[in-house]
Structure 1
Amino acid sequence: MSTTDPKHILIIMGSPRKGNTFHACEMFREYLEQEIPVQCEYIWLKDLNLHPCRGCLLCFTKGEQACPIHDDIPGIQEKMRKADAVIFASPVYAMNVPSQLKLMIDRLSFTFHRPEYFDKKAFLIATTGALGHEDVLKYLADVAGIWGFEVVGKAGMVTPIPVPAHLAERNRKTLQQTAHTFSAALKRTRRRSPGLKDVIIFHGQRAAFSQLKAVSPADYHYWNEKGWLDKKVKFFVPVPVNPLSHAIGVLVEWIAAKKVRKDLIQNPGANE
């Protein structure tokens, strides 16, 4: 793809209606188009055939292809894989994301163990009538980050009905400013170095999955095939890692590995 080709932006819409969240996404898209050529595609979760996770753990033990539920989840995966970036858009429902979006996240739980979207960037949008948008943005940042996305920006907006003029203006400026930030990230080809939290997650997961070949074989083989079980590997992707963050990550991995071994000894049949 050349620098003049439009970036393919996938917008995963967590709202069940074309309300404040949709209008925020459209305004954000308009500002983004002023910065960089983009091609936006919406996924309306409310219109898809999605079924709740059954908690059978087959995606951990045998892989996601063993899931007994056959619906539109694989299609969502493919669209995320083909996109240059994904916008996760959500209103606040009961201080969290709506059920449609939570259902999707639950069904993709194996991605927390087997992350893959390292060449993708993510942007987060949350709207609320009063409270909760910061919590939703933090939750979505954790989800997207652990899935492998480079989270490059977020926008939280308070949108009571009717929206006062001063809030409308503040929301507009937020979307305009963050669109500029997002466009700059899309132009950047190299992934940023991971933060301390990301490094700790990598080492903590390696401590677990390196010893769970029998308990979670799909996870173990995925990590092994990616080369992440090699102690020389400092992160999921070859980017510079802060030496202090690496040292802390190694310590966390040692402590976590020791705990996993203890748990396996106490339950000897778990890893036979």
Structure 2
Amino acid sequence: MQSKVTFPLVDLDKQSVLGIIEAPHKNMTVIHCEITPGLSCTAILFYFHSDSQKTFCYNLFLFCNKTMEVVENYTLNHEVQPYMAFDPRFCWSRVAIANYECREEGIKHELVLFSLSSGKVYKRSNLSLPSLFGGSCFHLLYSIDGALLILQKLTEDRFGVTSYSDIYLFNSDQLMLIKYVTASLPGLFHICMTNYEPKFSNCGSYMRILDYKSANGDRGITVKIYQLPRCLNLKSQCRIMILQNLKNNNYINQLPLPNRLKEYLKFSPMWN
């Protein structure tokens, strides 16, 4: 039996249906679905058998929220499930992908930053995902201001009694690892998975995670609050904005700026 998946797009303020998004092909399994920052597109990750590639694959389809038509689609992996998160600073055009694969470029199951406007990877992590992740479930999310990328790895023990949460905090532009945090919780069978995800304060300066620790012979949930790295002055903010708009650091020398400012733009922090 062949069937097509459909999605009604609803305006909650007006309580009206804007249109119906339909899967491009029959027998496509929905892995992930979200409306992109900027609200212009809906992104749906499908798993299906591609007739053109003659194999099963994970493809990300972008649908226009006005016409409900496919704008673009990208193959993210053929073997294992990829995970993704949109950078809130760039509307729909920039996305972080874990377990990304591109055989032509020699990329296999990596954490990358991907430009949807060009359809190309523009930054690869220097960490190997197979050795870093193993066979687990992941969550990718950005901090509120988009400056940090958080990757959470969830792994259960063999009995499903205890889950282990490993959180990797990256600079979202360079994919450099800033901090690593680990915690343990009751198995996923006992607690809703949404409770595992890190949560941010309204200002975006603090991150909350849960930990299941033993105290005085009793085990209970502990809430941990972390102060996130952030820019402390306008000069640092301006530096980041300039670097974000350059294709690479080789263009710094071409900027009409004094040499001292060029050296400031080239500065590499200790953790880089």
Instruction: Settle same-fold status: TM greater than 0.5.
Output: no
Higher helix share: 1
Shorter-normalised TM-score: what interval? Answer: under 0.3
Higher relative contact order (CA 8 A, sep 6+): 1
Question: Larger strand proportion, structure 1 or 2?
Answer: 2
